[in-house]
A = this chain, B = another copy of it.
């Protein structure tokens, strides 16, 4: 689960600041650090709480694991991220909030984006009476051939 994260330069922080502001999330020191790691380079990223926690530590930021969890949840609630569930014992968080499919590499437990536009539904069922579709998760599990 080795992931690369954005650096903490000024431009990256600006991007993070705008990202938080866009969703009216109060920019505390910890949130700004984490947001910078997440979107500082403008790329989407898939993280686990543990992975982000370690990245924060590695970059010299002091953030507690509980706060990482709270923060990721807060970002999800604010619509800045999505939680994707592929493994019963670990949550993955995606900075890309569009409803898009994922590859899950069964050997490395890595989660990556499936090439966009390559998946399309020919048909989706009408949501049952009294319900509406909140999201459609598509996870393509890959096995090393």
Chain A residues with CB under 8 Å of chain B are 83, 85-91, 101, 103, 105-106, 114-115, 118-125, 127-128, 130-145
Q: How far is the CB of A91 from chain B (nearest CB, A)?
A: 4
The SS class assigned to the A binding surface is strand
Further pairs besides A132-B143, A132-B145: 17, Cβ < 8 Å: A85-B85, A85-B86, A88-B89, A115-B125, A119-B123, A119-B124, A121-B122, A122-B122, A124-B140, A125-B140, A128-B142, A130-B144, A131-B143, A134-B142, A136-B138, A137-B137, A137-B138
Q: How far is the CB of A1 from chain B (nearest CB, A)?
A: 15
Do A141 and B145 form a contact, CB below 8 Å, given A85-B87, A118-B124, A122-B122? no
Q: Is the CB of B115 within 8 A of A131?
A: no
Complex CA distance for A130 and B105, rounded to whole angstroms: 12
Q: Is the CB of B142 within 8 A of A132?
A: yes
Do A103 and B128 form a contact, CB below 8 Å, given A138-B138, A141-B133? yes
Other-chain contact of A119, B125, B139, B145 (Cβ < 8 Å) = B125
Do A139 and B140 form a contact, CB below 8 Å, given A118-B123, A120-B121, A145-B132? no
